[in-house]
Amino acid sequence: MDALTPLLSTEDLTRHYGGIRAVDGVNFTLNAGEIRAIIGPNGAGKTTFVSLLSGRTAPSGGRISFAGQDVTALPAFRRVELGIAYTFQITNVYKSMSVADNVRIAVQSRLKRHVGAPLDPEAETIAALEAVDLAARADTPASQLAYGHQRLLEIAMGVALQPKLLILDEPTQGLSDSEIENFLQLVRRIGKSATILLIEHNMHVVMSLADRISVLTRGRLLAEGTPDEIRNNADVQAAYLGS
């Protein structure tokens, strides 16, 4: 798909928990090649929204389209096969396994679906680790990694899937300032070959990376626009950024 071609869209997407409207009729379009950030106050519905997109949560209503296909009823693993990778707000690595083995699982799951000339799983694993500067820790048990490095390992697992869309949920949580600057460079590199959707509270990260920003509050889209447009939006300032 070319840039400005819709890669993912939702129509009146909703998720209710009893009387709580966690996601409330969201109409959303993400273009191929974008780096899009989703921001909003705690409890705005951000994680529920991306959980709906990835298939980890079933919607109460509405429709989700990805790469021209209705994926509303597809389970998460089928969406991974179509090219959606989602890294979680809480690290989701196999802590008893080595760093390399965690990434190797992601590589092998993709290679099972690969058509064409054979690929080298070991080379693919190392390439994903090098992308996040974890190659030197390849043999380290994941349980021995600092929290921030576990987050980077999770991103490496997402990169290893070579997705069309990489969804990052609070990716800089637990990272040091120097690691955050490396993360910015990493996302820009990934963004050359994948569309990126990230939930992030660090506004330096959001404003540095995002082509466009979507603001959620109380399960609804409050505003969308470029970083400058969002920074200067009076409604966003009142609801989230502060005056």
pLDDT of 213 over the 90 cut? yes
Residue 141 DSSP one-character state: B
Domains of the chain: 1-82+166-171+195-243 (3.40.50.300), 84-162 (no CATH)
Average pLDDT over residues 218-228: 96
C-alpha distances (whole Å) from 90 to each of 25, 140, 231, 238 are 26, 20, 28, 29
Tell me the per-residue pLDDT of 109-118, one tens digit each, with 9 for 90 and over: 887 766 555 5
Tell me the per-residue pLDDT of 1-45, one tens digit each, with 9 for 90 and over: 555 679 999 999 999 999 899 999 999 999 999 999 999 998 999
Tell me the per-residue pLDDT of 79-100, one tens digit each, with 9 for 90 and over: 998 999 998 755 578 999 999 9
Check if the beta carbon of residue 222 is closer than 8 Å to that of residue 238. no
Check if the beta carbon of residue 87 is closer than 8 Å to that of residue 155. yes
Buried-exposed string 5-35: b where 16+ CB fall within 10 A, e elsewhere: eebbbbeebbbeeeeebbbbebebebbbbbb
Average pLDDT over residues 167-172: 92
